[in-house]
Amino acid sequence: MAGFVSIREVGPRDGLQNEEPIPTEAKVRLLDALSRTGVGRIEAVSFVHPRAIPQMADADEVWRQAAKVDGVRYSALVPNVRGAQRALAAGFTEIEVVVSASDTHNRRNLNRSTDESLDDIAELIDLLHAAGAHAEVIIATSFGCPYEGDIDPGRVAAIVDRVVRDGADRVAFGDTTGMGTPRRVRDLLTAVRDRHADIPVLLHFHNTRGTALANLLTALEFGVTEFDASVGGLGGCPYAPGASGNLATEEAVHMLHDMGIDTGIDLDALIEVAELAERLTARPLPSG
C-alpha cells in the first residue's frame, strides 16, 4: 500500500452544515484549530444560498476571519456558477461542485435533473479554469440512494466520462447514504478505473452503518490515497434521510498510522479538536 495518504478535513463545511447553526466565531475557532493539526487539506466553507443551507450563511465572514496556515490547501464547495463566482472573489483556487448519480436525489438537493446539473458543471469548469482555479466534481449517492436504492456503477462511470471530457481536474465519490460496503467500493472503482485509469480520485465515506473504515481499507487496496473525513464524525446529508455521521478523521488517522501509513496529522492534536467540536456543537459526537 501507499506510504502516505492525504486526508481532506471536511468538518468545517460538510460537518457543520448538518448541525444546528453555531456562531461565526465558533466556526472560525474550529477551522483554525484544524489548520494547526498538520492536516494538509481542509474544506472550509460552501457558498450556497442561505435559505438552502442556513448553517453556511456566514461563509464569507468565516473565511475572512480564518487564519490561513501556510502549507494547508483550503477548498470551497459551490452549487452553481453564482457560488463559484463568490468563491473566486473570496480567493479560493480549489473549488468543488456536486452532482448526484441519483436523479431523484439531485432534484431534492439541487432542484434539477442530473443531466441538467452536468450541463451547468461544464460551464462552471470553464469559468474556474479561466480564473486559474481547479475544479473537482463530487458525485453524490455513488454507492446508493435513499430514494432510488442501488446505483449502477456503470451510471457513475458514465458521469465520470462526461465530467472528464468537460475538463474536471479531480473526481470524488460520495457515499451520501452510508450504503457503501467493500463490495460496492470494489465494483465502483473497477468500473471507473477500467475507463479512466489516470484521473485523480477521492472517496468520501459516511459511517451510518459502521462500514467507513472497511471501505477506506478496500479503496487503499485499489491504490486510492485521497479521502475525506470529518473531525469527531461531524455531519451527514440534509437531503439523505438517515445518513448521519461522516468517517471520523481521528479514527481514520489512528488506523492509518497503526498500519504504518503517514498522514502528516498529529493525532493527539486532532483528538483535542474533536473535543472542541463537541463543546462548540453542544452535543456528543459519533466518534465519542
pLDDT tens digits, one per residue of 79-93: 999 999 999 999 999
Q: With beta carbons less than 8 A apart as the criterion, state whether 192 and 215 touch.
A: no
Has 145 been annotated as catalytic? no
Q: Which backbone phi and psi does 258 adopt, to 5 degrees? A: -65, -25
What's the pLDDT at 64? Answer: 98
Rounded Cα distance between 56 and 45, Å, is 7
Encode the chain in three state secondary structure.
CCCECEEEECHHHHHHHHCCCCCHHHHHHHHHHHHCCCCCEEEEEECCCCCCCHHHCCHHHHHHHCCCCCCCEEEEEECCHHHHHHHHHHCCCEEEEEEECCHHHHHHHHCCCHHHHHHHHHHHHHHHHHCCCEEEEEEECCCCECCCECCCHHHHHHHHHHHHHCCCCEEEEECCCCCCCHHHHHHHHHHHHCCCCCCCEEEECECCCCCHHHHHHHHHHCCCCEEEEEHHHCCECCCCCCCECECEHHHHHHHHHHCCCECCCCHHHHHHHHHHHHHHHCCCCCCC
Given pLDDT bands bounded at 50, 70 and 90, which one contains residue 252?
A: very high
Is a pLDDT exceeding 70 seen at residue 155?
yes
Q: With beta carbons less than 8 A apart as the criterion, state whether 157 and 192 touch.
A: yes
What's the pLDDT at 116? Answer: 97
Given pLDDT bands bounded at 50, 70 and 90, which one contains residue 220?
A: very high
Is a pLDDT exceeding 90 seen at residue 283?
no
Average pLDDT, the chain: 94
Query: Structural domain boundaries of the chain?
Result: 6-281
Task: Pick the catalytic residue from 237, 270, 277, 280.
Answer: 237
Is a pLDDT exceeding 70 seen at residue 162?
yes
201 DSSP β-pair partners: 171
Architecture of domain 6-281: Alpha-Beta Barrel (3.20)
What's the pLDDT at 244? Answer: 61
Is a pLDDT exceeding 60 seen at residue 243?
no
Given pLDDT bands bounded at 50, 70 and 90, which one contains residue 288?
A: low
Residues 61, 243, 59: CA angle, nearest 5 degrees = 5
Question: Which whole number is the average pLDDT over 196-206?
Answer: 94
What's the pLDDT at 245? Answer: 78
pTM attached to this predicted model:
0.95
What's the pLDDT at 4? Answer: 98
Q: Which backbone phi and psi does 75 adopt, to 5 degrees? A: -130, 165
262 DSSP β-pair partners: 4
What's the pLDDT at 5? Answer: 98
Is a pLDDT exceeding 60 seen at residue 241?
no
What's the pLDDT at 34? Answer: 98
What's the pLDDT at 254? Answer: 98
Q: 237 versus 260: which is more confidently predicted?
A: 260
Q: 109 versus 231: which is more confidently predicted?
A: 231
The dihedral formed by the CA atoms of 85, 89, 94 and 99, expressed in degrees to the nearest 10: -20
Is a pLDDT exceeding 90 seen at residue 8?
yes
What's the pLDDT at 109? Answer: 85
Q: 235 versus 150: which is more confidently predicted?
A: 150
Is a pLDDT exceeding 70 seen at residue 141?
yes
The dihedral formed by the CA atoms of 117, 122, 128 and 132, expressed in degrees to the nearest 10: 150
